[in-house]
Amino acid sequence: MSNLRGRCTLAVALAVFSCKAGTGNPTGSGGAGGSPTLASGGGETAATGGAPAMGGASSGGNATGGKGGSNGGSNGYGGVDASGTGGTRPSLPADYRPTGRAAAGDVFVHLFEWPWPSIAAECENVLGPAGVKAVQVSPPQEHSITPSHDWSERYQPVSYSLERSRSGTEAQFQNMVNRCASVGVGIYVDAVINHMTNFPSPGTGSNGTAYTKYDYPGIWSTGNFHPACTIDSYQDAAQVQDCELLSLPDLDTGQPGVRQRLAEYLIALARMGVAGFRIDAAKHIQQVELDDIINRASATLTAEGRPIPYLFLEVAGSGGGEAVLPPQYFGVGYSSGGAADITEFKVIGVGDKFRKVGGQSLSQLNPNGPTGSRFGETAWGLLPADKAVVFLQNHDTQRTCGIGYQHGDAFRLANVWMLAQPYGYPSILSGYAFQCGTEDSLGPASDVNGWTLPVSCMNDWATAKSQQWICEHRDPYIRNMVRFRKAVAGEPLSAWWDNGTNAIAFSRGGKGFVAINGETTAITQAVATTVADGAYCDLLTGGLVGRSCAGTSVTVKGGNVTFTLAAGRALTIAITDPLPK
């Protein structure tokens, strides 16, 4: 949005990070320690690196058929009375059932700003064969049209029509859903149901609908929005959930009619075959009201004999006195038989270890390492593993200049680690090139009318120019790890080894082994593994093809693996790819 130009674009602020004027970096600071230091106080700020800011494991009792946790400050999230200055606010029981995505070893890919026909082809040619569970797509509803066609215009709804967005038509959307489903890939829609648009106002949407900030003919009028107010304190839940984020008109989800209409949008998408939803800016929707929206949709779909869609919520929270925190949303969808995962932004801090920011190193990811140099739920104050959607970057945080395609091998290795370790349900962002810090609001390559052009993937990240498609998910180090994660699902991380700095290795029970060399020189090492003796094919160099390895073969003998890895390289073996005798 033009009135939000600079380093902090609309959707960046919608998610987690506050941006400093004139920089592309998140506020806060961190050192060389183990888990992220998350900034406290007045805003959705976060920084990577540093020592743990919040301790504590999950608490609370179990419920029949589900799990439980405290609504206040469980799972490492310290909070304050959620009422803030707005009086007592309703709370949601924290009982939940796992979605099962983490336990199954699933992975989904976020094809950020891709047009519908390109996604359909990608499902058939790449994602389905790779074993990807689902694709997250950009918001499909009618959206505002900004003069420079920023990517953030997709997050400013004008109506809930799918007839025309910059990604294509409703017919193309339906065709994409059908074609992806036919190869086993679900579609997750990014659902923007917290607010509408404020720029331009008055304006005309992507499907020709005329509107003003508080008037959307046939849908919403002034009385359907919360009274205008600004979010000045993240210690006040009423402000966070009832006021306008960046002056975006905030829908009054306290009204049953508003909740019903939003539920109908989700129902319509599910009837088209959509497999799941990401609820954008869920933190800014009162949790009991959001639960009712989901329950209304689930009840209708269940009555029609349809499955309840998968759900994950964008809820950023650092603790540090914030009034609205992820554990307060644990129970969303539970009472109607559903489940909801939640975004775990803290895992982004792992990227700084692969970039070696401030002297950080990969050895600090040891789950049993010394205090301040270990990775795990308690050490990092993370959400429960069966509740977390994890990522090294998403479309918002990518624009705060953390680890990304620009970091080449370090980024590849970070993805190998994320997909090899067992925590959470991983999401892989796949988008287009831009100059971080100066082109953060840049939209995808489009024609003169702002309609996104078909995707053509770059073969070399290092030579990509602005708006050229990176297609990170196609990289062999990322694509081939999808199969590894599925093969080792349910197995614990075991037999950790590191050299004290940036070479690490570990097993996944008896099913798999991974070694990562983040050093600047080659290493040769013998390490113990819990994988059975035998010869295996390295998945990252192609795995087993026919009766031979497409690339490197690896031998386990006497419970040990001896390997040589060049700088910036990794290897993975799984019992699914043994070399025939």
> H-helix or E-strand containing 457?
none
Report whether the peptide linkage leading into residue 256 is cis, meaning its omega lies within 30 degrees of zero. no
Residue 580 counted as domain residue: no
- In tens, the pLDDT along 353-412 reads 999 999 999 999 999 999 989 999 999 999 999 999 999 999 999 999 999 999 999 999
Place of tokens 């104050």: 381
Does residue 296 fall inside a structural domain? yes
The domain in which residue 310 lies consists of 2-484
* Catalytically annotated residues: 280, 314
Whether 348 and 384 map to the same domain: the answer is yes
Say yes or no: 240 and 388 in one domain: yes
Half-sphere exposure for 486 (CA within 13 Å, toward CB): 15
Q: Is residue 482 scored above 70 in pLDDT?
A: yes
Q: Are residues 262 and 395 in the same domain?
A: yes
Looking at the domain assignment, is residue 243 inside a domain?
Answer: yes
Give the pTM: 0.89
Last residue of a domain, one of 484, 508, 533: 484
Shared domain for 395 and 427, answered yes or no, is yes
Q: Do 119 and 188 have their domain in common?
A: yes
Q: Give CA 355 to chain center in angstroms.
A: 20
pLDDT tops 80 at residue 83: no
- Quick: pLDDT tens for 317-355: 777 789 999 999 999 999 999 999 999 999 999 999 999
Token digits of residue 265: 């949008």
Q: Is residue 22 part of a domain?
A: yes
Asked whether 112 and 434 are in contact (CB, 8 A), the reply is no
- CATH code assigned at 279: 3.20.20.80
Distance in angstroms (rounded) separating the CA atoms of residues 294 and 186: 19
Q: Do 285 and 319 fall within a single domain?
A: yes
The verdict on residue 158 lying in a domain is yes
Whether residues 130 and 248 share a domain: the answer is yes
Residue 320 lies in a domain: yes
Of 484, 500, 516, which marks where a domain is finished?
484
* 503 and 464 share one domain: no
Residue 70 shares a structural domain with residue 155: yes
For residue 549, the domain's CATH number is 2.60.40.1180
Rounded Cα distance between 432 and 405, Å, is 10
Residue 397 within any structural domain of the chain = yes
336 and 385 both lie in a single domain: yes
Residues 46 and 151 in one domain: yes
* Number of domains present in the structure of the chain: 2
Instruction: Please tell me the predicted confidence (pLDDT) of residue 245.
Output: 93
Residue 418 domain-assigned (yes or no) = yes
Nearby residues of 88 by Cβ (< 8 Å), 6 or more positions away: none
Taking all residues of the chain, what is their mean pLDDT, rounded to a whole number? 88
Query: Which residue among 443, 462, 484 closes a domain?
Result: 484
Q: Averaged over 261-285, what is the pLDDT?
A: 98
Q: Give the Cα separation of 104 and 81 in Å (integer).
A: 36
Nearest to 135 by CA among 173, 187, 75, 73: 187
Residues 393 and 260 in one domain: yes
